[in-house]
Structure 1
């Protein structure tokens, strides 16, 4: 239930140009920084809880997405872009952003 309430809050904090701005392809060094370790240690239980919720009661997919959003790892951007380009996802995200008076995400 909490993940369902937090989803709009997370979606409106994504910058509109998030999926079209240039990226640094060599981000392995980021994993060794203390803030990245803390983020990954906080996001991992959320991700595992989301995976468990796929067979248990709860918002499994939303919890998985929140866990991935917290974490920082190579390939995360490509995974996020793949999810957003699924049929209807970008439309739903932009609908939530419009209701919150935020500009739509620019399509990748």
Structure 2
């Protein structure tokens, strides 16, 4: 293993560097899309509503929920690795946290979005896209 690593160190770092750039570009391009998709009144309630897919198609809902959580937890683990390797570690962890389901997630999302700088930035972007700003109680 050590011999393989020493012989291929340049290739490994090249692949890690390209992967980091690809993740950065995908994150940068997709963040605007997701900001637009947040309903303006999403944070008005203290608890998140139940998904309409749960009643309409429970099997599809379970499969989607499982895949979303698996991807989210993989992103969290990858982000933790990227803290010591080249890459967008914190951004990847944040995306993984937003994809995963866990107790207190809605409160955490609300607290992050309520941060003055983040809320101003999100609402500025939504305003540029002619979408109503996110509101709280």
Q: Give the TM-score range, shorter chain.
A: 0.7 to 0.9
- 1:46 deviates by 1.5
Distance 1:58 1:78, change over 3 A: same
Question: Counterpart of 2:51?
Answer: none
Q: Which runs of 5+ in 1 are unaligned?
A: 25-29
- 1:22 deviates by 4.4
Where in structure 2 are the equivalents of 1:73-92 lying within 5 Å?
73-92=102-121
Distance 1:52 1:87, change over 3 A: farther
1:17 partnered with 2:46: no
Question: Counterpart of 1:104?
Answer: 133
Max radius of gyration: which structure? 2
| Superposition TM-score, scaled by structure 1 size | 0.75
CA contact (8 A) 1:97 1:103 kept: yes
| Superposition TM-score, scaled by structure 2 size | 0.62
Aligned residues: 102
CA contact (8 A) 1:43 1:71 kept: yes
- Taking CA–CA contacts closer than 8 Å with sequence separation of 6 or more, which of the two structures ends up with the larger relative contact order? 1
Bigger share in helix = 2
Q: What is the alpha-carbon distance in structure 2 between the residues aligned to residue 88 and residue 23 of structure 1? A: 24
Distance 1:60 1:95, change over 3 A: farther
Q: Secondary structure at the match of 2:116?
A: coil
Q: Which runs of 5+ in 2 are unaligned?
A: 1-23, 49-53, 55-61
Q: What is the alpha-carbon distance in structure 1 between the residues aligned to residue 46 and residue 116 of structure 2? A: 24
Structure 1 runs of 4+ aligned residues shifted over 4 Å read none
How much is the aligned-residue C-alpha RMSD, in angstroms?
2.4
